[in-house]
Amino acid sequence: MDLIQIMKGKACKKTTTIVLPEGTEERTVQAAGIITKEKIAKVILLGEKNEVEAVAKKLNTNLDGVTIINPIESEKYKEYSQDLFELRKNKGLTFEAAQELAKNPLYYGALMVNKDDADGMVAGAQNTTGDVLRPALQIIKTEKGISSVSGAFIMIVPDCEFGEKGVMVFADCAVNPNPTAEQLAEMAYLSAKTAKALVGFEPKVGMLSFSTKGSAQHELVDKVVRATQIAKEKYPDLDVDGELQADAALVPKVGSSKAPDSKVAGKVNVLIFPDLQSGNIGYKLVQRLAKAEAVGPVLQGMNKPVNDLSRGCSIEDIVNTVAMTALQC
């Protein structure tokens, strides 16, 4: 059975409610029907009821069991506006502005999750990553002790001997354009947790660079060296090493020749990229050139699960992301 099927199976065993704010978006409506039919999660679609139902009718999608909420007409709208005002008044948000924002389904969805009226949120079929993340970061915020949220991908590479038989976790591919050494160290820890929780393997984390163990000198390399030191000190149980080039991280022969004293070189299954340019480009290259499946981004470090979709996503991507979100709950 493949990883996606296993994740869906596990999600079915939990009772979670996931809010999908883009309730009139066609793929989202179709996904809502499938998720409900397969009992992966309970679904709340946000939008004007007649409009959502018209989309479902047009697409011949059965929405029995799906809850539809129109933010502005809902009984919770006032309460959520007040919640948002309380959360953001010290940032200069007025009550009137909070009332306006609470009408926005992306804000309303995050406010539902904040109040435990939903367990998680998935959006992004229609909205940019920034627009999905901003309300989540402002309202749901990071989990205790975590300073920044990052985005990991579970990469499933066919016919590949690297990582765990071709399964690897890549991060950060979605959120922090230019992370500090401290943020990179934290990403190493969070990505290891993601690997354990969602894929179930023992994480071996490689801090990637264009240098292996001092082969090149540059301030960009220094940041990765510092991040590795912080990760080792702050998370002593984490199997992490760096700085490593991608081949030294993944290929046993190269790892043992370039980093002979490293416990993880050549065996890395969690790859931490030094910045968002390399992480985002890296996962897309592997996805396209190696025909890999890229599951994610899994947002890690959030107080409650919120996940972002690509605007080019398929119905299946939405279903899979909801299953993954349910597992994070």
Q: According to the binding rule CB under 6 A, does residue 129 interact with ligand ACO?
A: yes
Q: Tell me how far apart the alpha carbons of residues 256 and 99 are, in angstroms, rounded to a whole number.
A: 59
Q: Tell me how far apart the alpha carbons of residues 131 and 142 are, in angstroms, rounded to a whole number.
A: 17
Among 102, 137, 169, 286, binds ligand ACO (CB under 6 A): 137
CB closer to ligand ACO out of 191 and 280: 280
State the nearest-atom distance from the C-beta of 179 to ligand ACO, in Å.
8
Q: How many helices (H) and strands (E) does the chain have?
A: 13, 11
Binding track, positions 240-279, relative to ligand ACO; x by CB under 6 A: ----------------------------------------
At a CB cut-off of 8 Å and minimum separation 6, what does 153 contact? Answer: 169, 170, 171, 173, 174, 283, 294, 295, 296, 297, 298
Q: Tell me how far apart the alpha carbons of residues 309 and 132 are, in angstroms, rounded to a whole number.
A: 9
CB closer to ligand ACO out of 175 and 268: 175
Among 98, 297, 306, 307, binds ligand ACO (CB under 6 A): 297
State the nearest-atom distance from the C-beta of 85 to ligand ACO, in Å.
14
Q: Tell me how far apart the alpha carbons of residues 315 and 125 are, in angstroms, rounded to a whole number.
A: 9
CB closer to ligand ACO out of 114 and 212: 114
Q: At what angle do helices 26-37 and 315-328 cross, to 10 degrees?
A: 60
CB closer to ligand ACO out of 29 and 174: 174
CB neighbours (10 Å) of residue 215?
A: 14
CB neighbours (10 Å) of residue 65?
A: 13
CB closer to ligand ACO out of 67 and 180: 180
Binding track, positions 65-94, relative to ligand ACO; x by CB under 6 A: --------------------------x---
Task: Please state, in angstroms and as integers, the Cα–Cα distance from residue 96 to each residue in 41, 63, 72, 140, 223, following that order.
Answer: 34, 34, 14, 21, 44
Q: Tell me how far apart the alpha carbons of residues 66 and 37 are, in angstroms, rounded to a whole number.
A: 10
CB closer to ligand ACO out of 47 and 120: 120
Residues 169-228 that bind ligand ACO (CB under 6 A): 173-177
State the nearest-atom distance from the C-beta of 251 to ligand ACO, in Å.
26
Q: According to the binding rule CB under 6 A, does residue 138 interact with ligand ACO?
A: yes
Q: Tell me how far apart the alpha carbons of residues 168 and 55 are, in angstroms, rounded to a whole number.
A: 37
Binding site for ligand ACO (CB under 6 A): 91, 129-130, 133-134, 137-138, 142, 148-149, 173-177, 280, 297, 310
